[in-house]
Chains A and B, each alone.
Chain A
Amino acid sequence: AQSVTQPDIHITVSEGASLELRCNYSYGATPYLFWYVQSPGQGLQLLLKYFSGDTLVQGIKGFEAEFKRSQSSFNLRKPSVHWSDAAEYFCAVGAGDKIIFGKGTRLHILP
């Protein structure tokens, strides 16, 4: 069965530091992969997505993610975080006729 794992429930980084949020999936074929962000009291907003082609995907707000088939991973990165990046981040997998969201990683930013 398809699954998505975000191993880190909470991550804290200092403003200006680099960030990497981990996402691992389980699916027999190449999935569609997404990262969404949810600010407090808001719905989810798409940051970026991977369907095919270049495995390094650029998104909004300076985020990027890299699809690594050998590791079944789609980690989200940002070279320098801003206080406004504090939010919850969800990795999602579109597989067949299903979409599955990870449990989310809450990002805290230290000033």
Chain B
Amino acid sequence: DAGVIQSPRHEVTEMGQEVTLRCKPISGHNSLFWYRQTMMRGLELLIYFNNNVPIDDSGMPEDRFSAKMPNASFSTLKIQPSEPRDSAVYFCASSPILAGLTDTQYFGPGTRLTVL
């Protein structure tokens, strides 16, 4: 299995630009998660999906952030407009169990986002 795939691995953009991060979960997994990792705040859960449906987006920092999962094999996290404080590593993870939060999650390699 290829594991969770994220693209791009690195993204450098200027403040105000739209950024789209992409994730392909492990085939057959039912839950998908987006995390943000920074030195100051550690690893934070932004949003998660069960069977392509957003369950909890309480971790999304503000309206500039949006996430979609149009099908079981693809999800996007969009930031519009981006700001320097959005600079972080964004991880996608998937889980085979709908309970998701209480079972093993498989993480992608992350996207390192730098907003200038």
Contacts and interface: CB of A to CB of B under 8 A. Distances in A.
Given A41-B109, A43-B91, A97-B56, A90 B102 contact: no
B4 interface: yes
A41 B44 CA distance: 17
- How large, as a class, is the contact surface on chain B? 10 to 19
Summarize A's interface: helix, strand, loop or mixed. strand
Interface string A18-54: 0000000000000010101000011111100101000
B108 to A, nearest CB: 5
Given A36-B107, A41-B109, 4 more contacts: A34-B104, A43-B108, A46-B106, A97-B56
A90 B70 CA distance: 31
Interface in B100-116: 101-110
| Max count, chain B CB within 10 A of own CB: residue among A32, A42, A97, A99 | A99
A9 to B, nearest CB: 11
Given A99-B45, A101-B42, A43 B93 contact: yes
B91 A98 contact: no
Interface of B: 4, 42-45, 56, 91, 93, 101-110
- How large, as a class, is the contact surface on chain A? 20 to 34
Interface of A: 32, 34, 36, 41-46, 49, 51, 90, 94, 97-99, 101-104
Contacts of A99: 45, 101-102
Contact of A97 (B43, B44, B101, B104): B101
Contacts of B56: 97
A42 B109 contact: yes
Contact of A43 (B44, B102, B103, B107): B107
B109 A43 contact: yes
B31 to A, nearest CB: 11
- Enumerate the 6 nearest inter-chain pairs by beta-carbon distance, A residue then B residue, closest first: A43-B107, A94-B102, A101-B43, A103-B42, A44-B107, A32-B102
